[in-house]
Structure 1
Amino acid sequence: MKDAVGWHVEMEFQEDNKRTRAAAMVRLPDGNEVRGHGYASRHPSDGNQPRVGEEIAAARALNDIKEQLLSKAHDEIDDASGRTSYPITR
């Protein structure tokens, strides 16, 4: 079995009474960094629950990173194989 590989993810939040912004960054083993952003807005009738806003904004930031990593991986597959690869969406 190969040694385990780990990636480090950093997440930061900026919040006000109505909106939460998340900035995520993952460091890849080759030294490259991929950054993503996500936002959550609180509806005026919702209670003030900062943790919920952070969770939603974080999920959206990580989804942004997911899309970038999929694109990067498919570009690398295409470059190595000389053909076009297609991601499976779920």
Structure 2
Amino acid sequence: MSTSKRWNVEVLVDEEAGRTYAEACLQSGADTRLVGVGRAKLHPSDRDIPEIGDELAAARALCDLGQRLLLAAAGDIQAVTHEPVHLAR
């Protein structure tokens, strides 16, 4: 029997004075909530295009979330197997 699940990731972006902050939040179960964080900073010689800062900060937050999810999975596997776990990226 096949089981489908839907996990939603909410990305929150805040920008102020050339600095952009993003959080990627995953709620995958009743007790499982993971948050990845990303930042971007406008270089003084660059044109201020807020969308680019948003994209960079959001991408970094999603990468951070992915790493945290891998670590959570490794911890869960280790709890079951009682063996050290090393997951490749």
Per the TM alignment, residue 44 of structure 1 is displaced from its structure 2 partner at its CA by 1.0
- How many residues are treated as equivalent by the alignment? 89
Greater mean alpha carbon deviation, residues 22-31 or residues 79-88: 22-31
Unaligned runs of 5+ residues in structure 2 are none
Per the TM alignment, residue 69 of structure 1 is displaced from its structure 2 partner at its CA by 0.8
Counterpart residue number, 2:43: 43
The percent of aligned pairs where both chains have the same amino acid is: 34
**TM-score for both structures, normalised by structure 1:** 0.88
RMSD: 1.4
Counterpart residue number, 1:80: 80
Unaligned runs of 5+ residues in structure 1 are none
Counterpart residue number, 2:27: 27
SS state at 1:62 partner = helix
Runs of 4+ in 1 over 2 A off after TM superposition: none
Counterparts of 2:77 and 2:3, CA distance in 1: 23
Counterpart residue number, 1:6: 6
